Chain A
Amino acid sequence: MIKAVIIDDEPAMQEVNSRLLADYFPGIKLMGKADSVETGVRLIQTVEPDLVLLDIEIKGGSGFQILQQLRPYKFKVVFITAFDNYAIKAIKFSAHDYIMKPVNETEFQQAIQRTLADIEKNTDDQVQTDILMDSFRKEIQSKKLVLKTIDSLHIIDISDILFCQSDNSYTTFYFENNERIVVSKSIKEYVELLKDYSFFRPHQSYLVNLNHVKKIDKTDGGFIIMKNKKEIPVSLRQKKQLISLLEQL
């Protein structure tokens, strides 16, 4: 039996989420609800849940404060948020799951499903929590990124990424020595996250770390040649911007 709690300052949302949990996940037992930092901490300490549905904006502060007070913890968190802001960025950097308000049932199911899989594997995700907290505190300047695959959490230095390649809703990260990591998220997510780390999207399907670019081949529409000799196509549309960006580096 999986124990869960919901921390949200909006009674209607508490209701919606508990309803959805009951409907779709009969194996999860809801142990209680809270609406503030203080009551949330107490609730978690009392029931020791496996899963916490945590709203970011709650009474008395932010959901992150609860996590800060309870560290180190073993439960898994799914964030709930009403609006896209820097908190979302921290969540994305650390590869945590989140649900946008109002809840889209499909998204809800997927997010909870993924988290249940993590609970089953009982992985140690202390590092993931560290990156979450770091990213949140420093707002954007985290040097680490968490990549979550079916079987593991990869903590990587952003500067080690050579480039990313998109394949529909999957994204492949390429590193030195031909290492690669495939995650089931669209490349679009990472464009936003990495644009402040001199990453550039030369093509619809590629996101390139400009620090690993060796040269630009201008023949035949144009190619970026990476330090590992991999060639990446450049869309005609992005050529001008790419050149001006490289000149600034």
Chain B
Amino acid sequence: MARVYNWQLGRNMKYRFERGPTKRQFAAVFNINRCIACQTCTMACKSTWTHSPGQELMWWNNVETKPYGGYPANWDVKILALQEEKNPGRQTWDPSAGDPERAPYGRFEGKTIFETADGVDQMATGYLPSEEEWKAPNSFEDHATGWSPGGAQLPEHDQGWFFYMQRICNHCTYPACLAACPRNAIYKRPEDGIVLIDQERCRGYRKCVEACPYKKSMYRPTTHTSEKCIGCYPRVEGSDPLTDGRPMEPRCMAACVGKIRLMGLVRTEDDGTWSHDPTNPINFLVQEEKVALPLYPQLGTQPNIYYIPPRWVPRPYLRQMFGPGVDHAIDRYMHPSRELLAVLQLFRVSRHIIFSFKIRKGRKYEEVVVGGRKHSIYDDTVIGFDDKGNEVVRVNVKEPVFERPGKLNSI
């Protein structure tokens, strides 16, 4: 067992391997607040990668309704229960032990899935969901926790609430699937950190399905192998003919109707922390503003999909799901800085991956009051650039309004 640094936990932890030579990491920010659960992402993925015999129950991208929904059923409740059973009452955080760069959420005092595993039968604590558990990917769709006869108001909908959780493979920095594979058939690409199952070497042992806490490694009976989200790597690396050689966002991101997704590649240091790169929109959202948080960081895999938490959901539930950074993240989202408001406009405005951005200041055009606090809104322009510094998109904070002349309205 090696010792590696997990910045999301603010401490070293045990892992089967030393950290690999990943120089850039696939990462994305999903804004839960904007998702309408149209499942366009789900179908974009399905129709691209998993439409063939043996993949019927396979949804590399899925959107589930929390708190009751889950694909596979109850995946998160089950892994949290297993962890709690192995370290009862001690799966806690010390948020005060923080360091803005190396431990932004404080320190996790509990045990990761690698630390509760026996190292004999399992390299990471996990379980193998049965086929039945994969059969209803959108059960409990739109189910709230309760009925709010009097309606609900921010800051928390404490009577009845639900939200949509968009999930793909987290392309973890310390993947449990990779640690669990007895054949070393799973690898993490140095150039972008995408985690892949080598289809030539896989022998379908399903140890990865068992170990992945997010259950994003799936078994395909027609080939007796396991398959998983490949991060649309031909698009990310720019080798797909569609891309014209320029890195492009995966299908699920590019297809997002609700404009909730922004994908990027972040540079990483030898210890797995992110390089300081405040002009990369993902770094800006995660590191600088800390408005987007990892999903169940306490499991220890250092997942790389970051979520802007839903602002109406009771905080204890969100803290369990996203760690102690929740209150800060929601506060930043409710009361965004001038820069954050600009960067939030970059979601889904280009298929090409935005590697850096610049903000050109505009005039103040509005004053609003949110949660009792006054905000000035500026019509700033945010410009996104690709990996070679070419401009790929330019968008304003103030959405342009066009009025169609009445005489042209033929409806």
A and B form one complex: no
Please list the residues of chain A having a beta carbon within 8 angstroms of any beta carbon in chain B: none
Please list the residues of chain B having a beta carbon within 8 angstroms of any beta carbon in chain A: none
